[in-house]
Amino acid sequence: MSSDEWKRQAAEQALAHVEDGMKLGLGTGSTAAKFVELLGERVKAGLKVICVPTSEATRAQAAALNIPLATLDEYPALDLTVDGADEIDEDLRLIKGGGGALLREKIVAVASARVIIIADSTKLVDVLGRFPLPIEVVPFGLGSSRSLIERLAADSGCEGEIKLRTAPGGAPFVTDNGNHILDCSFGEIDDPEALDDALKLVPGVVESGLFLGIADIGIIAGPKGVETLSAIESDFEEEE
């Protein structure tokens, strides 16, 4: 089975959590797109849901499938968000933003009662950081923001190349919010919470791609089948 098929398997299992009448957040990326595709089939068959997309790309995909769309201004609290991730650890901590949608993804996820992350097993890591950490920054003062990120990240034990993400033509990549992305190759991030706290001190940083304490369930599909990670279960295990 290919990674594409694993993504679809994870998306199929996430669909089982969707109920009639729900307000849903729709993630961004190739895995989330599989979920949107399957959701579109259910909507066509009569399922009633209202969805808030996390990017213009997802908005376009969902609109083409006639999935009813709304904004967080209309529905500030959602029942469930289903999204992908670039990396996921056993504690359901994530790196997101490979697709550049991390800010809207985090806003939508935090507005949701439950967050399900769907991924193929290549995304599962022992320690976050193999995937360069995306950080969304405002264009103004980019050089200063980059230097400050470098300094504060080093204080929390993270060092490595920080690259301004570029679009296919070579110009800086621009997010749906008009910002840029710095991709930080820090390697293993031993203390994601400390790094995230440090990044919040940089005025030009809009958001980091560290999603900590946000995901409730991880549905991971791979050669050994589909594995479900649950935040509640891991808390329970820790208590025992």
Instruction: Please report whether residue 102 would count as binding ligand 5RP according to CB under 6 A.
Output: yes
Residues contacting ligand 5RP: total by CB under 6 A: 18
Which CA distances in Å does 103 have to 54, 74, 172?
Answer: 8, 19, 17
Q: How far is the CB of 199 from ligand 5RP (least distance, A)?
A: 17
Among 29, 129, 132, 218, binds ligand 5RP (CB under 6 A): 29
Strand duo 210-211 + 94-95: pairing: antiparallel
Single-letter amino acid code for the residue at 126 = D
The 31-50 site mask, x for binding ligand 5RP (CB under 6 A), equals: xx------------------
* Cα Rg of the chain (Å, integer): 18
Rounded CA-CA distance 114/216 in Å is 6
Among 23, 59, 93, 96, binds ligand 5RP (CB under 6 A): 96
Q: Whose Cβ is closer to ligand 5RP: residue 78's or residue 148's?
A: 78
Q: Given the residues 87, 105, 136, 207, select the one marked as catalytic.
A: 105
Q: What are the beta bridge partners of residue 115?
A: 81
Rounded CA-CA distance 16/166 in Å is 37
Instruction: Please report whether residue 101 would count as binding ligand 5RP according to CB under 6 A.
Output: yes
**Active-site residue, 37 included:** no
Burial classification of residue 194, based on how many CB atoms lie within 10 Å of its CB (0-12 exposed, 13-18 middle, 19 or more buried) = middle
Name the one range near ligand 5RP by CB under 6 A: 14-22, 28-36, 188-196, 229-237.
28-36
Contact positions toward ligand 5RP, by CB under 6 A?
27-32, 83-86, 96-102, 105
Active-site residue set:
105
